[in-house]
């Protein structure tokens, strides 16, 4: 069913409703209208990395980990799988007349906010710091969720619109001030791609204000840009209880009725929260019209028709046997393998079983299920911690010794114990081992959403880039024993890993790898798989020179504007082999580009790749662009193309990568986007073309100049 047909049906249905019934449908927990055979429907559902919060489902790696795969095809598969499990669960819940929260088909994902500051606790819900990568992965995930059938398989939602990335403690009252250049250059592009290319069905407004306007009632964002400029046709939903913030925290209104009217009149169709309980009173006061209420009801019912919730769909026969089936679990493990980033390797990896009698597994995250799953997770019945994964991998061949080492953040494990009551055990394990796997990091109780974490002093954000003090001490103690140490960092964000980089034999970023992530980590450690993940965020050495967390200027932030050397750069990640770019050639006729500025067009680049190593591996071709003339160009360079590839040892192959003509444009100080130069330089490599990447990899990018 196309949107026009669905809207016609929605208009007809809504025309039969009373004003009270129409208003009732604007709440996330929409009640049934029995006389019209409209069942109750709860709009709130989540599938950030697998269906969440509604019982058993396949648990994939956290979103930031999926971004590290740099693999659009993989994300498409994961989104399709999540939609399949969502349909399987919905079909059965509906038969049971269970219309509870988290059991519908409207998924409030993906989160395409830009991870501009490493302190933000919710950053691991995103696809990283780069607008192009975020946009491409967001579009892919949306297409996978929504499908291409007669009806939508499920409905995706791009969030949180817009200019939203902390601080969590202030989000209900915070005003994000951003200039026109940063707004159009960094904060909006991914949303624009989700709307124009992904045809996303919903957009969620953020809690904060942007330049003085609440994001759930912003004429600039919601009317001028989203609907008028981008042509958005779907529905707009508030973040949860964000409209209440209008009168309680932002102080832009005085009453719930005024808040409801302001949001509804600006185009916020659906209220996650309870402020729209006041819509009828606002209507009676003349603050909102019948026509406005009707239009929002029509938009929402249009989505339900598109999903086939009234007329049935080709997905109604998806059975419950699809939930957490073997095929889906295998995909989750493969996704974890592709997301793991090898940051350092002095040659110790992959481990050789014949050289090891005892392996020590140490750390608060070594046997932690919480460190596998990140936030907005489902409930997996199949869990594999790193300790469990290693034990399964080595079987009876190698002895496994284990120590928790320390608490995740408290100064002791046992309440009556002395400070660092597990650290001597960690030393003992290290001394009796041939090699140590040290599992450090955080979990969703320390970094995450305000109100969801135990990190109450920072409301889910980080105060600095350091590991908790007890873990810093554990790292130093284990390293001091003198055995080879492989550090596995389990976080959803950048951490200062300087000590590990200087002194450990190897460093691995595992992120939150999903419920069965321990199996993937073990597979990487012992060489059954070659690591191929790349960092979707910059790992800074420290916060020195970093703008205030509350400052939304992009100056000095992310790889595009960075003014100092990072510890690990965006796009960086090693493999067990040696993949190189041999050549890069522009296939497109540049004259065609100059005849007309088709910003929606693309430039074809042919890249020749070679695996000069002895191990089969996956890797990522990365293309960056630098405008050589315009003073409006970003300070450094920008990602403009990428492709995940597989190469056997010794294999040479050619790949064609499409670079959007939009990559040639700049954004000026007024927020206008256009081509302002005739000279550009393209860089093709397996990392970005910065000096730190060259130092870490020893590989120079191939450069190609483009003249218009």
Task: Tell me how far apart the alpha carbons of residues 199 and 192 are, in angstroms, rounded to a whole number.
Answer: 10
CA 136 to chain CA mean position, Å = 12
Q: Which two tokens stand for residue 377?
A: 């997770």
**Among 567, 564, 461, which residue's Cα sits nearest to residue 507?**
567
Task: Give strand pairing partners of 641.
Answer: 623
CA pseudo-torsion sign 289, 292, 296, 297: positive
Using alpha carbons only, what angle is made at residue 124 by residues 118 and 129, rounded to the nearest 5 degrees?
A: 55
Q: Estimate the crossing angle of helix 517-525 against helix 326-339, to 10 degrees.
A: 50
Q: Which two tokens stand for residue 382?
A: 């199949």
- Contact predicate 292/265, CB 8 Å: yes
Task: Give strand pairing partners of 202.
Answer: 157, 235
239 part of the active site: yes
Task: Tell me how far apart the alpha carbons of residues 632 and 334 are, in angstroms, rounded to a whole number.
Answer: 41
Half-sphere exposure of 298 (CA within 13 A, CB side): 19
**Among 517, 473, 443, which residue's Cα sits nearest to residue 362?**
473
- Contact predicate 165/102, CB 8 Å: no
Task: Tell me how far apart the alpha carbons of residues 314 and 562 are, in angstroms, rounded to a whole number.
Answer: 49
Query: Coil, strand, or helix at residue 625?
Result: strand
Q: Is the omega angle on the peptide bond into residue 160 within 30 degrees of 0, that is, cis?
A: yes
Selecting among 239, 245, 461, 627, the annotated active-site residue is 239
**Among 572, 676, 659, which residue's Cα sits nearest to residue 624?**
659
- Contact predicate 128/341, CB 8 Å: no
Task: Tell me how far apart the alpha carbons of residues 677 and 376 are, in angstroms, rounded to a whole number.
Answer: 44
Task: Tell me how far apart the alpha carbons of residues 255 and 173 are, in angstroms, rounded to a whole number.
Answer: 16
Q: Which two tokens stand for residue 650?
A: 């010794």
Residue spans of alpha helices (H) in 227-267: 245, 256-266
Question: Which residues, other chains included, contact 224 with Cβ-Cβ below 8 Å and sequence gap of 6+?
Answer: none
| Catalytically annotated residues | 239
């Amino acid at each position: 069913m196309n949107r026009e047909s669905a809207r016609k049906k929605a208009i007809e249905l809504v025309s039969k409703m009373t004003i009270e019934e129409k208003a009732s449908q604007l709440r996330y927990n929409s009640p049934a209208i029995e006389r019209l055979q409209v069942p109750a429907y709860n709009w709130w559902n989540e599938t950030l990395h697998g269906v969440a919060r509604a019982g058993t489902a396949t648990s994939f790696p956290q979103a930031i980990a999926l971004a590290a795969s740099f693999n659009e095809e993989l994300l498409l598969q994961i989104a399709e799988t999540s939609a399949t499990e969502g349909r399987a669960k919905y079909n059965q819940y509906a038969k049971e007349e269970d219309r509870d929260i988290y059991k519908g088909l409207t998924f409030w994902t993906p989160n395409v906010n830009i991870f501009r500051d490493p302190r933000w606790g919710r950053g691991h819900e995103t696809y990283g710091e780069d607008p192009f990568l975020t946009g491409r992965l967001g579009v892919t995930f949306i297409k996978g969720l929504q499908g291409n059938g007669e009806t939508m398989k499920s409905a995706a939602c791009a969030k949180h619109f817009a200019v939203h990335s902390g601080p969590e403690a202030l989000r209900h009252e915070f005003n994000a001030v951003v200039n026109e250049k940063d707004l159009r250059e960094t904060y909006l592009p991914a949303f624009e791609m989700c709307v124009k290319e992904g045809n996303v069905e919903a957009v969620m407004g953020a809690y904060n204000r942007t330049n003085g306007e609440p994001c759930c009632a912003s004429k600039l964002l919601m009317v001028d840009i989203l609907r008028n400029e981008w042509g958005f046709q779907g529905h707009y939903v508030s973040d949860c209880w964000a409209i209440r913030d209008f009168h309680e925290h932002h102080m832009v209104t005085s009453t719930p009725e005024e808040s409801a009217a302001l949001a509804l009149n600006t185009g916020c169709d659906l209220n996650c929260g309870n402020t729209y309980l006041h819509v009828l009173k606002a209507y009676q006061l003349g603050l909102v019209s019948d026509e406005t209420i009707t239009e929002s009801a029509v938009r929402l019912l249009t989505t339900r028709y598109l999903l086939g919730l009234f007329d049935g769909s080709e997905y109604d026969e998806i059975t419950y046997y699809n939930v957490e089936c073997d095929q889906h679990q295998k995909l989750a493990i493969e996704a974890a393998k592709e997301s793991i980033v090898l940051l350092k390797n002095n040659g110790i990896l992959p481990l050789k079983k014949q050289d090891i009698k005892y392996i020590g597994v140490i750390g608060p995250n070594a046997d932690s299920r919480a460190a596998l799953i990140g936030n907005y997770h489902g409930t997996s019945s199949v869990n594999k911690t790193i300790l469990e994964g290693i034990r399964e991998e080595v079987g009876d061949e190698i002895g496994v010794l284990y120590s928790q080492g320390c608490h995740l953040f408290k100064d002791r494990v046992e309440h009556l114990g002395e400070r660092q009551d597990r650290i001597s055990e960690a030393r003992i394990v290290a001394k009796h081992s041939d090699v140590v796997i040290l599992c450090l990091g955080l979990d969703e109780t320390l970094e995450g959403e305000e109100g969801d974490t135990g990190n109450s002093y920072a409301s889910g954000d980080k105060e600095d880039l350091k590991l908790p003090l007890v873990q810093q001490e554990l790292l130093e103690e284990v390293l001091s024993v003198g055995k080879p140490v492989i550090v596995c960092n389990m976080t959803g964000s950048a951490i200062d890993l300087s000590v590990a980089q200087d002194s450990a034999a190897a460093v691995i970023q595992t992120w939150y790898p999903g419920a069965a992530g321990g199996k993937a980590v073990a597979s990487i450690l012992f060489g059954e798989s070659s690591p191929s993940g790349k960092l979707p965020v910059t790992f800074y050495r420290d916060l020195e020179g970093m703008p205030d967390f509350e400052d939304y200027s992009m100056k000095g932030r992310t790889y595009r504007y960075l003014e100092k050397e990072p510890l690990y750069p965006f796009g960086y990640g090693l493999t067990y082999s040696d993949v190189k770019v041999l050549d890069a050639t522009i296939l497109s006729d540049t004259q065609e580009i100059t005849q007309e500025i088709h910003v929606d067009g693309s430039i074809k680049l042919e890249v020749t790749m070679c695996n000069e190593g002895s191990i089969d591996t996956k890797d990522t071709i990365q293309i960056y662009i630098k405008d050589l003339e315009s003073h409006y160009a970003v300070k450094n360079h920008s990602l403009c193309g990428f492709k995940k590839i597989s190469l056997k040892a010794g294999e040479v192959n050619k790949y064609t990568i499409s670079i959007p003509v939009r990559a040639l444009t700049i954004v000026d100080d007024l927020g206008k986007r256009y081509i302002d130069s005739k000279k550009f330089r393209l860089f093709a490599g397996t990392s970005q073309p910065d000096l730190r990447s060259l130092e870490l990899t020893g590989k120079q990018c191939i450069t190609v100049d483009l003249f218009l």
